[in-house]
Structure 1
Amino acid sequence: ATYNIPLALRLKGALDHQALQLALTDLVTRHEGLRTVFPTHEGTPHQRILPPTAIDLPLITTTEEGLTARLADLSAATFDLAVQPPIRTHLLSVGEQEHILLVVIHHIASDGWSNGPLFRDLATAYEARTEGTAPGWEPLPVQYADYSLWQQQLLGSDEERQLDYWRAVLADLPEEATLPADRPRPATASNRGTTHTVHCPADLHDSLTALAQETGSTLFMVAQAAVSTLLSRSGAGHDIPLGSPVAGRTDPALDDLVGFFVNTLVLRTDTSGDPSFRELLGRVREADLAAWSHQDLPFD
């Protein structure tokens, strides 16, 4: 279940269960990736797009106290991607006017950017279905299978150039960026984690934004330079490689599509030579722009 994406949406007020189920069916019909399975042939997986069918939306009655545990159990159920579509939905009722819609999608079919078009299309379809009509949206310009073919064609013609770039940029990269730790790394990953939230005061945010504008960089680059400085001064050395996700939607036709486009880039920062922060920011800017222009090569 590590690659499950659970999305829980609290719905308040009167709910039309049948209209919501029809809207979810509209959603899966619109986005082929949500009804794609991945059987293997001679050891190699391939996409097989299933015809549109009505999606299941079981109604589960629970309490507010038992909600968290129930959501966790439903979210942890795994997918057999060879035969099961990568989406599963449940509707949990905690009162006549209080429901939670749980949509669990396998990461093979979605990413963070996809949440926007997914919920926007679902809202459009639900509004239409409550009025007894089908959603009147424009057809999507492309589907995920089109993107897959395009990516294969691109890499067929450009893969060696991008590989040459990354081989050069990542040459002699440390196997691991190490920091002084208070406990050893476990032999087996637990896949458990948590979130630590840091608040940036408005005046500091304004100053950082101004610095980015003055140097022709972005707020992301400023933050990356700051993190690299912190890691370097904390004992990680002067060669700081950071893994960073990139949306991977390099064509506007992909913006409204639910699918897995995200890629991971290695952004390598050289903090040696005691540079000023502005000098370091210049190094980060140059490295990041080059990495983003070679972002099509899959991380693996």
Structure 2
Amino acid sequence: VLGSEDDPDSVISRQLAYWKEALAGLPDVLDLPADRPRPAVASYRGERVSWRLPEDTHTAVITLARECGASVFMVLQAALAALYTRLGAGTDIPIGTGVAGRTDEALDDLVGFFVNTLVLRTDTSGDPTFRELVERVKEADLSAFAHQDVPFERMVELLNPERSLARHPLFQTLLTLQNTPEPDLNLPGVTSSAVEVDSGQAKFDLLLDLRETLDDEGRPAGIEGEIEFARDLYNAASVRVLAERLGRVLEQVTADSEQRLTGLRILSEEEAERQLTVWGRGEAAAPPTDLVRAFAGRAARTPDAVAVVSGDRE
């Protein structure tokens, strides 16, 4: 179906040309705040925290998506990109996602795994309103979905980004949203149920694995899921703060979609109060000029503190 890459008019050649242009100049890594510096080689140790968006905000997200002619996924992606920009990751935000890979109806009832990974690039430059950002996301996503047949591995070969054992190529955050009916597995004499399994691993820095829920009457009952994170970089407490901030952004933009990104309130009231009244007290000390002076200054301020721990020795 895709044809040969030797044929410039084939489907695969046209799609490869699209991705080469669409992802040109993509940042190698997003510079997000983390608890620890990125190691030279990723350990892939992971953990998960739960996240939930309440039903009223879920309803507001659906309403905004319909007004913009977009999907719920696109609104979530725009909110995540806006949050990343406000956290200092820049204005060129690549986010990965999975697609079912069943673009032909003949595949609907076929057993098999056709999932592919796409890179969705979000431009947050120019301080757009959130509604404008959703429009940008919609345009970019529809183009990406129209060229979704190129296997991700082939895309990496084509773009040939700087390879590193420390991170995933092309993107480090994956966002998925499940909003299809739960399948029923009916076998004679067998009762089946889904069981969540935590592997203790993480392929990406952050994986937001979300799903829409409905009540018995089919009304929005909230968006929930898990955020899987790399323990090399993050602590669970920091990821929970990130999740809270995403919910805070969604609450604000669904209440006023004409709000510009710079006007979004990222911090909670407690965080803002702490920065103003605790961290803001006194004058900042001049930074030391070298490591020896920094160590000496710290030892002078806290002479009884533990400096080094090695096994059971301090």
* TM-score bracket, shorter-length normalisation: 0.3 to 0.5
Higher helix share: 1
Higher RCO (C-alpha under 8 Å, 6+ residues apart): 2
